[in-house]
């Protein structure tokens, strides 16, 4: 029995862990590396294992950094079964189709630039196409239900638990036997934060011999959500008083729906100025919002009940969905009183970059970051205090107010991770999905367990 790590090692993206037991191979997640531009190259490199030999892929949730390399897995020979919750399957479809579209767009943009320079066609090639995505979707097999064991091979059973991170997200227990050797291994996936408005609290994991655990926010506690909501509302009021707009780089899944929920509550209660317009300017986030409505049974029971009664908590007066490019471009003509939620959350592409271009040089506007921005992304540079940015090869001064409000995180903070880990009583812990500082800080706080921080492609006996 062994485990090897093929992504999210000493970094927060590219989750991909392979378990081998009794001649069978189980992959947990197959995510994209995101962030620095050169990481794009990393996605195209060999996996570090032979995709054709993998029997099952268990998918914890539909974030790109957990599912983004699935089409590549399939084009390189994977013929096994993908198992996920129904919400994860629906969302993964959306996320992967979006990723294929973005890659295609990026490649075309490079080629146009090269042509204008009079040079040869050059630049990145898409790693996969929309057709590759449609093909890989056929590999989705059985549907996982929280708490219900799924028989894989002889002596291998997987059970999904609600991770409370995004719609349909799961932690996974693998129970494995190889002769007399038995092992219980828990994969945290991404663990959610308790007390959030739409998602259920994470289910505490069962006891296990080994834990593979995320550590994104392993070095800090989050501020309470209520303080973050108040800070958001204040930042919006201040920007509007100054006559500016508010741009919120948005993560299409989860965070965006929570922000819509909070803004809806604030506007309905009269806590934001009367004529506030809220634009959700992301086709993917719009579709994700529709999937939230369709999969409302995965939300907190009280929220699910509201939806079942026909009360749409993700809609309010002043909210506008701008799917079309023309509608998106029209937002540029609004100089004050608009809240613009646009992807991507880390500003490494997507419509938000246009909105930054039109707002970040204006002292009256505000840019509000509500989530994690990986090292090397435009979002991180702005958060770290860049005085100037140059999207689209144009130098633009940063004069808008920059806010970072981390209480909206869909990730557990340090105390929550410690509590989650304690429930496993595990003697051996692999820390993944965190930057060095976060992993080191968390490792100092976990006691009675051997801590390992694996390197890329490193393998260990179980």
Size of the site for Zn ion (CB under 5 A): 2
Residue 43 is classified by DSSP as H
Here the tokens at position 16 are 């991909």
Helix (H) or strand (E) holding 459: strand 459-461
Rounded to whole angstroms, the maximal C-alpha distance in the chain is 70
Residue 259: other Cβ atoms inside 10 A: 24
In whole angstroms, how close is the CB of 66 to Zn ion at the nearest point? 6
**What is the smallest separation between the CB atom of 369 and Zn ion, expressed in angstroms?**
17
Which helix (H) or strand (E) segment holds residue 16: the answer is none
Chain position carrying tokens 């965190």 = 434
Residue number, 156 or 250, with CB nearest to Zn ion:
250
* Shortest reach from residue 91's CB to Zn ion, in Å: 11
Please say which residue, 63 or 403, places its beta carbon nearer to Zn ion.
63
How far apart, in whole angstroms, are the C-alpha atoms of residue 38 and residue 11? Answer: 14
Per CB under 5 A, 433 contacts Zn ion: no
Site string for Zn ion, 133-172 (x = CB under 5 A): ----------------------------------------
Count Cβ atoms within 10 A of the Cβ of residue 387 and give its class: 0-12 exposed, 13-18 middle, 19 or more buried.
Answer: exposed
Binding characters for Zn ion, 313-342, by CB under 5 A (x = yes)? ------------------------------
Q: Which of 188, 258, 221, 213 is nearest to 410 (CA)?
A: 258
Least distance from Zn ion to the Cβ atom of residue 166, Å: 6
How far apart CA 460 and CA 430 sit, in angstroms, is: 10
| In the complex, least distance from residue 144 CB atom to Zn ion, rounded to whole angstroms | 17
Tell me how far, at minimum, the Cβ of 435 lies from Zn ion, in Å.
15
**Least distance CB 96 / Zn ion (angstroms):** 15
How many C-beta atoms surround the C-beta of residue 40 within 10 A?
17
Choose the binding region for Zn ion from 59-67, 315-323, 385-393, 423-431 (rule: CB under 5 A): 59-67
Stretch of residues binding Zn ion (CB under 5 A), selected from 182-190, 266-274, 347-355, 387-395? 182-190
Residue 190 touching Zn ion (CB under 5 A): yes
Told to check if 63 binds Zn ion by CB under 5 A, we report yes
Compare residues 85 and 359 and give the one whose CB is closer to Zn ion.
85
Q: Which is nearer to Zn ion, 190 or 258 (CB)?
A: 190
Smaller CB distance to Zn ion: residue 51 or 68?
A: 68
Q: Is the CB of 337 or the CB of 371 nearer to Zn ion? A: 371
Cβ proximity of 394 and 401 under 8 Å: no
CB nearer to Zn ion: pick between 69 and 355 = 69
| Minimum CB–partner distance for residue 299 and Zn ion (Å) | 17
Binding mask 205-244 for Zn ion (x = CB under 5 A): ----------------------------------------
Stretch touching Zn ion by CB under 5 A, among 6-14, 153-161, 185-193, 305-313: 185-193
* Closest distance of CB 216 from Zn ion, Å: 8
Kindly indicate which of the ranges 41-49, 77-85, 190-198, 349-357 contains the residues binding Zn ion, using the contact rule CB under 5 A. Answer: 190-198
Closer residue to Zn ion, CB minimum distance, 29 or 132 = 29
d(Cα 197, Cα 300) in Å, to the nearest integer? 8
Q: Kind of pairing, strands 81-84 and 56-58? A: parallel
- Residue 415 CA to its chain's centroid (Å): 21
Over the window 77 to 106, marking each residue x when it contacts Zn ion by CB under 5 A and - when it does not, the resulting string is: ------------------------------
Peptide bond preceding 344 in cis form (omega within 30 of 0):
yes
Question: In the structure encoding, which two tokens stand for residue 458, read together?
Answer: 């490193």
**CA 245/CA 336 separation, integer angstroms:** 5
Strand partners, 17: 5, 28
In terms of CB distance, is 187 or 279 closer to Zn ion? 187
Alpha-carbon span 379 to 102, nearest angstrom: 18
Closer CB to Zn ion, 74 or 255, in the complex: 255
Least Å distance, CB 219 to Zn ion, is 18
Beta bridge partners of 185: 174, 210
Listed ranges 60-68, 224-232, 242-250, 314-322: which one lies at the site for Zn ion (CB under 5 A): 60-68
User: Read out DSSP for 61-115?
Assistant: ---HHHHTTHHHHHHTT--SEEEE-HHHHHHHHHHHHHHHHHHHHHHHHHHHHHH
Q: What residues contact 203, with CB distance under 8 A and at least 6 apart?
A: 146, 161, 162, 163, 164, 171
Residues that bind Zn ion (CB under 5 A): 63, 190
């Amino acid at each position: 029995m062994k485990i090897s790590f093929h992504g999210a090692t000493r970094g927060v993206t590219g989750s991909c862990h392979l378990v081998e037991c009794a001649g069978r191979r189980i992959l947990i997640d197959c995510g994209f590396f995101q962030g620095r531009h050169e990481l794009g190259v990393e996605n195209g490199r060999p996996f570090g294992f032979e995709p054709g030999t993998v029997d099952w892929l268990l998918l914890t949730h539909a974030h790109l950094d957990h599912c983004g390399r699935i089409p590549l897995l399939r084009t390189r020979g994977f013929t096994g079964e993908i198992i996920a919750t129904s919400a994860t399957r629906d969302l993964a479809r959306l996320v992967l189709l979006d990723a294929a579209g973005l890659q295609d767009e990026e490649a075309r943009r490079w080629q146009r630039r090269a042509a204008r320079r009079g040079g040869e066609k050059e630049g990145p090639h898409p790693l996969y196409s929309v057709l590759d995505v449609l093909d890989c979707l056929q590999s989705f097999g059985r549907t996982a239900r929280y708490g219900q064991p799924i028989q894989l091979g002889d002596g291998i059973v997987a059970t999904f638990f609600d991770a409370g991170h995004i719609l349909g997200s799961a932690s996974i227990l693998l129970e494995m036997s190889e002769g007399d050797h038995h092992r219980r291994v828990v994969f945290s996936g991404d663990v959610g934060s308790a007390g959030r408005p739409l998602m259920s609290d994470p289910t505490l994991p069962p006891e296990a011999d080994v834990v593979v655990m995320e550590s994104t926010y392993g070095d800090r506690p989050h501020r309470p959500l209520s303080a973050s909501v108040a800070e958001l509302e204040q930042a919006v009021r201040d920007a509007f008083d100054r006559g500016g707009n508010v741009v919120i780089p948005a993560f299409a899944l989860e965070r965006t729906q929570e922000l819509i929920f909070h803004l809806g509550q604030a506007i309905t209660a009269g806590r934001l100025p009367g004529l506030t317009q809220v634009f959700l300017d992301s086709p993917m986030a719009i579709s994700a919002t529709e999937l939230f409505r369709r999969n409302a049974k995965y939300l907190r029971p009280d929220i699910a009940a509201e939806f079942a009664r026909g009360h749409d908590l993700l809609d309010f007066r002043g909210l506008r969905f701008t799917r079309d490019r023309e509608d998106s471009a029209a937002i540029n003509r609004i100089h004050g009183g608009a809240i613009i939620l646009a992807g991507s959350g880390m500003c490494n592409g997507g419509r938000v970059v246009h909105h930054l271009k039109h707002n970040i040089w204006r002292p009256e506007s505000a840019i509000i970051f509500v989530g994690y921005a990986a090292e090397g992304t435009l979002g991180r540079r702005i958060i770290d205090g860049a005085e100037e940015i140059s999207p689209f090869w144009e130098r633009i001064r940063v004069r808008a107010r920059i806010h970072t409000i981390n209480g909206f995180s869909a990730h557990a903070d340090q105390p929550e991770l410690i509590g989650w880990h304690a429930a496993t009583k595990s003697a051996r812990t692999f820390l993944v999905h965190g930057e060095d500082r976060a992993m080191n800080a968390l490792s100092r706080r976990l006691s009675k367990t051997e801590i390992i921080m694996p390197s890329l492609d490193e393998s260990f006996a179980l």
